[in-house]
Structures are given as C-alpha cells and as structure tokens.
Amino acid sequence: MLNEAKPQFQKAVDHLSTELMSVRTGRANPAMIEDLSIEAYGTMQGLKSLASISVPDAKTLQVEPWDASVVKDIEKALMEADLGMTPTVDGKIIRLHIPMMTDETRQRMVKKVREKMENARIAVRQVRDDVKKKIEKIEGIGEDDKRGQLADLDKYVKELNVQIEDVGSAKEEEVATV
C-alpha cells in the first residue's frame, strides 16, 4: 500500500517546492510570475506561454511578449495580481522592479511560507489517512502485518514532514536574508 501511495506523498512535497518559488525574497525570480493567468485571445493562458521572462539584474523582471497585441492584457494581469510591484511598459517590453523588502514585508512573506508548509502537511496527512484506511480494510493478513505496515507508513510520513520542514526553513532563511 505504501509503495502505491508514495507518488501521491511526493506530489505534496513537490507542490510545496513549486509554491515556494513564487514567494518574493527581494531578488528577481521568473517563477514569481510565470504561472500568472492572462486573459488573451479570448481564453486564459499562462504568462510563460505568451512571453519570455528574463532577469536583466537582481531587482528586475523583464517580460517580452511574442505578440505585441497582448502587452495590455499582460500589464492588466500583473496589476491585478497584487505582487507588490507596478509594471512599467516600454514599447513591447514590460519591466517589474522589485522593491526593497521591509521588515514587515519579510514577516508577511515568512507567514506565507509557513501557511504553504502547513498546507503541504495537511495534504500529506490526507494521503496518510487514505492509505491507513486501505491498510485496515485489507483482509487475509494478520494484525502484526497490518501494524507493521502502519508503522512503516508513520515512519515515511515523519520523513516527509522533515523534508517539508527543511524546504520551508530554507525558504524562510532566504526571505529573512537582507
């Protein structure tokens, strides 16, 4: 049972890593905006499918749409995303200047990181509970085997929680670094 559920467990940890990439740290990172949904051509699309995103310097993100007709759509989505940055349009290029982070902003970002970590722990617990129910419903094996499988499950969940803590702590440290 545990081996069948390992991909689901790993998906929760991988999702946390992806989510934490979008948390602002004071340095420009394309992951902060690349998954932003833009309404263009009558449908919702990801920013990375409409434009190239680059980092010309540590404090600037540059978005260059492949089609100049979507510049206004991208600018509007960036404004509505409440990223704490105002886009500057220069012809076909959109620049986002990352402001210096205040202590208050850093604390808010650390809080956001902790919320995302807790969401990952909740996801792991939900998968654990599902696997636990399946193990308890198995017929034809002894109670000792069930207890052994449950012990293995708990051990694996503890390892995942340590992994979540490590990923989150590294991001907290990155956010707190001036």
Q: In CATH, what number is assigned to the domain containing residue 83?
A: 3.30.1360.40
27-83 pLDDT, tens digit each: 788 888 888 888 888 888 888 888 999 999 888 999 999 988 889 999 888 888 877
Query: How many beta carbons lie within 10 A of that of residue 16, not counting itself?
Result: 23
- Would you list the DSSP string of 107-175? HHHHHHHHHHHHHHHHHHHHHHHHHHHHHHH--SS-HHHHHHHHHHHHHHHHHHHHHHHHHHHHHHHHH
**Strongest mean pLDDT among 1-10, 136-145, 155-164:** 155-164
**Helix, strand or coil, per DSSP, at residue 54:** strand
pLDDT at 178: 63
Asked whether the predicted pLDDT for residue 26 surpasses 90, the reply is no
Which structure tokens are listed for 164? 């979540």
Q: pLDDT tens across 60-70, in order? A: 999 999 988 88
Q: Which of 42, 70, 97 is the last residue of a domain?
A: 97
- One domain, residues 62 and 117: no
Q: What Cα–Cα distance (Å) separates residue 20 from each residue in 3, 61, 85, 87, 139?
A: 27, 18, 18, 22, 41
Q: Say whether both 126 and 82 belong to one domain.
A: no
CATH of the domain at 6: 1.10.132.20
- Check pLDDT > 70 for residue 90: yes
Whether 130 and 106 share a structural domain:
yes
pLDDT of res. 125: 94
| Residue 25 clears pLDDT 80, i.e. is over it | no
Q: Which of 97, 129, 144 is the last residue of a domain?
A: 97
The last residue of one of the domains, among 75, 97, 119, is 97
Query: What pTM value is reported for the model?
Result: 0.71
Structural domain of 36: 27-97
Length of the chain, in residues: 178
The tokens describing 144, both together, are 């000792």
Summarised one tens digit per residue, pLDDT across range 91-148 is 899 999 888 878 888 888 889 899 999 999 999 999 999 999 988 888 888 888 888 9
pLDDT score, position 117: 94
Strand 87-90 to 93-97 pairing: antiparallel
Q: Are residues 130 and 165 in the same domain?
A: yes
Whether residues 74 and 39 fall in one domain: yes
How many separate domains does the chain show?
Answer: 2
160 in the same domain as 127: yes
